[in-house]
Amino acid sequence: MNLAPETGSSATSPGASESWLRRNRQALAPWLFLAPGVIFFLFYVIFPILQSFNLSFYRWDGLGDPQFIGMENYRELMDDRAFEVSLWNNLKWLLLYLLAIPAGLFIALFLNQTVTGIRLYKSLFFFPFVISQVVVGLVFSWFYDPTFGLLNQVLAWVGLGPINVLGDPTLVTYGIIIAGLWPQTAYCMILYLTGLNAVDPEQVEAARLDGAKGAKMLWYVIIPQLRPATFVAFVVTIIGALRSFDLISIMTNGGPFGSSRVLSFYMFEKALSEYGFRMGYGAAIAVVLFLIMLCFIAYFLWSMYQDDKGGR
Amino acid sequence: MFPKPIQNSSRAWQTTYQALVPAALVMWLLPLIAVAIFSIKPEADFTTGNYWGVPSSFEGLSNYGRVFFGSDMPRYLLNSVLITVPTVIGAVALSCMTGFALGVYKFRGNLLLFFMFVAGNFVPFQILMVPVRDLTLDMGLYNTKTGLVLFHIAFQTGFCTLFMRNFIRALPFELIEAARVEGVAEWRIFWFVVLPLMKPAIAALSVLIFTFIWNDYFWAVVLTQGAESQPVTAGITSFNAQYRAAYHLMSAGSIVAALPPVAMFFLMQRHFIAGLTLGAVK
């Protein structure tokens, strides 16, 4: 059976109409492959973001009817002392968490040798990243425990007084950040170990012949070649710092006196705690956190775009 | 190679290095070693203040026995498996398709969609919390494993798509072109040409997602409550409330909860690291 050609295409040869079909098939195919993933993602990730923005203009206890109050939630945030504390703590997290990058590089350089059993050592060093932050949090709260914690025992040996890290409003955030740095450093270490594997040995040899070694070699020859690893380490560390929630929830529950809260925890507390379900206010906090992260996301996407332009 | 290979150094430094590495490892893992020792101590050691000393007797069997037979732990573990495994399958399946579409085809909005997945994957959970919780409540899936699984699949698809798309881009495009010239249908190209080449990526993503979801705590707390549907991360905290001063049991419980991803990592190490270091080597 021969189907009559459409009007307008009658002039084209059969070969061209076949290629039209093929082009069409190829134009349709990606959308069929994309549909389930995109729909799911829009439904569970993209729309909820917009809904949260919308919700931040309402007063809502999660049960009754939401009441539109405009910018009121944001105005309240400006005078909210707890919000201010959370914001400062987020800043501390952001800055101190970045220590994971040099620490990871240091351990990677230390382990980048070929001696017997080094592979096993490398994977054991990576251990802290594989276990849940819940377990890390528990372990570190025992480590800091004022009555029996190992930290105070060690301090006592060197003649320093007992401290209660998690009970002290000035120390608590630093204590939790150190717990978080542990797995994060492990992650950065793996990134750098992989990066070091790809370092060009000829360049290293050439630099060696020119008399470069130690710190000079590291700074001028090795670190520039580790740029991709540093970029990924930077991305995951920033995201990790802003997402910190598990450790705070497990180790202090935001205390003492709310001094270890960060935005992600404060939002959760406002929206889903016994102090009342302030969904709209929580959403406003989440929007602030989102906007902070958006600066970084935009930067990451921009550099990915720069990379991608070179591709096919 | 940098730093200089240890073999080219002095004998003395070589020996020092050989001793330094295990010493550093013990320091690095000290918190975990302590927990492992806690978990085999008898309860009496804690009441008498022997926290960090040598266990006065080996009680590992009875401690782990109590975790497995005298608590809700097995149930939480089972929940974790029932949440993690479907999520891994779902997220990997969806992202094989999205990654294929975004990696192989040229169409308007390709990069835009790709960036949507990437950006969504970086988003703070809190901006999704209230709407997703509502959505789950409305669908009658609050406090069910299904509710958690559906959300996890959707969210993880973001990261997986990033991974899959980049992986597919690195494949030899000529294979696909050749198949097209032969007139092979697009879905057959996906199934018979591309999918077999994606095995390493699928393995890498599977272990990674397994670990991420197994270790998830936030969504477990937001979308579930109680032993019926909560995974082991949330379970361990209620375990903590129940056995507050029973450090031996808490330690045994923590180790049991941490073991599956650790085992996964050791079994699939190469793939796991390939997944994590995506983009770190150029």
ipTM of the complex: 0.93
pLDDT per residue as tens digits for the range A244-296: 999 999 999 998 999 999 999 999 999 987 667 899 999 999 999 999 999 99
Cα gap A168→A257, rounded to integer Å: 10
Say what the pLDDT of residue B117 is.
95
Q: Is the pLDDT of residue B153 over 50?
A: yes
Same domain, B127 and B30: no
Judging contacts by C-beta atoms under 8 Å, the chain A residues touching residue B186 are 25-26, 29
Question: Of B65, B80, B109, which closes a domain?
Answer: B65
Angle between helices B73-104 and B60-69 (to 10 degrees): 80
Cα gap B236→B281, rounded to integer Å: 37
DSSP A64: S
Q: Which among B126, B151, B249 is the top mutation candidate for probing chain A, defined by the most A β-carbons within 10 Å of its own β-carbon?
A: B126
Interface of B with A in 128-167 (CB under 8 A): 128-135, 150-151, 153-155, 157-158, 161
Say what the pLDDT of residue A172 is.
96
pLDDT per residue as tens digits for the range B177-221: 999 899 898 899 999 999 999 999 999 999 999 999 999 999 999
Average pLDDT (A45-58) is 96
Interface of B with A in 42-61 (CB under 8 A): 49, 51-52
Same domain, B127 and B225: yes
Range of the domain at B23: 6-65
| CB-defined contacts A:B, below 8 A | 290
Same domain, B114 and B252: yes
Tell me if B257 and A245 make a contact (CB, 8 A cut-off): no
Spell out the residues 6+ positions from residue B96 whose beta carbon is closer than 8 angstroms to its own.
B164, B195, B198, B202
Question: Of B65, B80, B107, which closes a domain?
Answer: B65
- Rounded alpha-carbon distances, angstroms, from residue A308 to A198, A234, A296, B169, B175: 21, 19, 18, 11, 21
Q: Among A36, A115, A131, select the one facing B94 at the smallest CB separation.
A: A36
Phi, psi of A68 (to 5 degrees): -70, 125
Say what the pLDDT of residue A255 is.
84
Same domain, B60 and B83: no
Coil vs helix vs strand at A12: coil
Say what the pLDDT of residue A7 is.
41
Same domain, B59 and B164: no
Say what the pLDDT of residue A16 is.
56
Q: Which among B20, B123, B233 is the top mutation candidate for probing chain A, defined by the most A β-carbons within 10 Å of its own β-carbon?
A: B123
The percentage of residues in chain B with a pLDDT greater than 70, rounded to a whole number, is 100
Whether the upstream peptide bond of residue A36 has omega within 30° of 0, thus cis, is no
Looking up residue B180, the CATH number of its domain turns out to be 1.10.3720.10
| Shortest Cα–Cα distance, B226 to chain A (Å) | 16
pLDDT band for position B279 (cuts 50, 70, 90) = confident
Question: Of B65, B80, B99, which closes a domain?
Answer: B65
Same domain, B153 and B167: yes
Tell me if B257 and A135 make a contact (CB, 8 A cut-off): yes
Does B112 map to a domain? yes
Tell me if B211 and A130 make a contact (CB, 8 A cut-off): yes
Does B16 map to a domain? yes
Cα gap A137→A180, rounded to integer Å: 8
Whether the CB-CB separation of B213 and B280 falls below 8 Å is answered with no
Highest average pLDDT, of A159-163, A205-209, B195-199, B223-227, comes from B195-199
Same domain, B24 and B151: no
Q: Provide the token pair at B170.
A: 């690195």
Highest average pLDDT, of B29-43, B78-92, B237-251, B260-274, comes from B78-92
Same domain, B50 and B142: no
DSSP assignment of A142-187, as one string?
A: HHH-TTT-HHHHHHHHTT-----GGG-TTTHHHHHHHHHHHHHHHH
Say what the pLDDT of residue B46 is.
85
Same domain, B203 and B223: yes
Chain B, nearest residue to A189 by Cα? B277
Say what the pLDDT of residue A312 is.
47
pLDDT per residue as tens digits for the range A59-113: 998 888 999 999 999 999 999 999 999 999 999 999 999 999 999 999 999 999 9
Say what the pLDDT of residue A3 is.
45
The percentage of residues in chain B with a pLDDT greater than 90, rounded to a whole number, is 69
Task: Say whether residue B210 is in contact with chain A using an 8 A CB cutoff.
Answer: no
Same domain, B124 and B244: yes
3-state secondary structure chain B: CCCCCHHHCCHHHHHHHHHHHHHHHHHHCHHHHHHHHHCCCCHHHHHCCCCCCCCCCCCHHHHHHHHHHCCCHHHHHHHHHHHHHHHHHHHHHHHHHHHHHHHHCCCCCHHHHHHHHHHHHHCCCHHHHHHHHHHHHHCCCCCCHHHHHHHHHHHHHHHHHHHHHHHHHCCCHHHHHHHHHCCCCHHHHHHHHHHHHCHHHHHHHHHHHHHHHHCCCHHHHHHCCCCCCCCHHHHHHHHHHHCCCCHHHHHHHHHHHHHHHHHHHHHCHHHHHHHHCCCCCC
DSSP A237: H
Q: Which helix (H) or strand (E) holds A79?
A: helix A72-79
Phi, psi of A92 (to 5 degrees): -60, -45
Same domain, B95 and B180: yes
Instruction: Give A24: exposed, middle or buried? Use CB within 10 Å, 0-12, 13-18, 19+.
Output: exposed
Please, what's the largest Cα pairwise distance for chain A?
A: 97
Tell me if A142 and B35 make a contact (CB, 8 A cut-off): yes
Does B145 map to a domain? yes
Whether the CB-CB separation of A262 and A86 falls below 8 Å is answered with yes
Task: Say whether residue B268 is in contact with chain A using an 8 A CB cutoff.
Answer: no
pLDDT band for position A9 (cuts 50, 70, 90) = very low
Give the global pTM: 0.91
- Per the structure, the count of domains in chain B is 2
Cα gap B109→B127, rounded to integer Å: 25
Tell me if A44 and B132 make a contact (CB, 8 A cut-off): yes
Better-scored residue on pLDDT, A5 or B154: B154
pLDDT band for position B268 (cuts 50, 70, 90) = very high
Q: Is the pLDDT of residue B95 over 80?
A: yes
Coil vs helix vs strand at A273: strand
Q: Among B100, B111, B154, select the one facing A41 at the smallest CB separation.
A: B154
Phi, psi of A58 (to 5 degrees): -120, 155
Q: Among B51, B221, B280, select the one facing A194 at the smallest CB separation.
A: B280
Say what the pLDDT of residue B203 is.
95
Least confident of B150-159, B179-188, B211-220, B233-242: B233-242
Same domain, B117 and B195: yes
Tell me if A34 and B120 make a contact (CB, 8 A cut-off): no
Q: Among A109, A232, A296, select the one facing B279 at the smallest CB separation.
A: A232
Say what the pLDDT of residue A8 is.
41
Does B55 map to a domain? yes
pLDDT band for position A15 (cuts 50, 70, 90) = low
Q: Is the pLDDT of residue A162 over 90?
A: no
Q: Provide the token pair at A234.
A: 């930077």
pLDDT band for position A307 (cuts 50, 70, 90) = confident
Say what the pLDDT of residue B239 is.
81
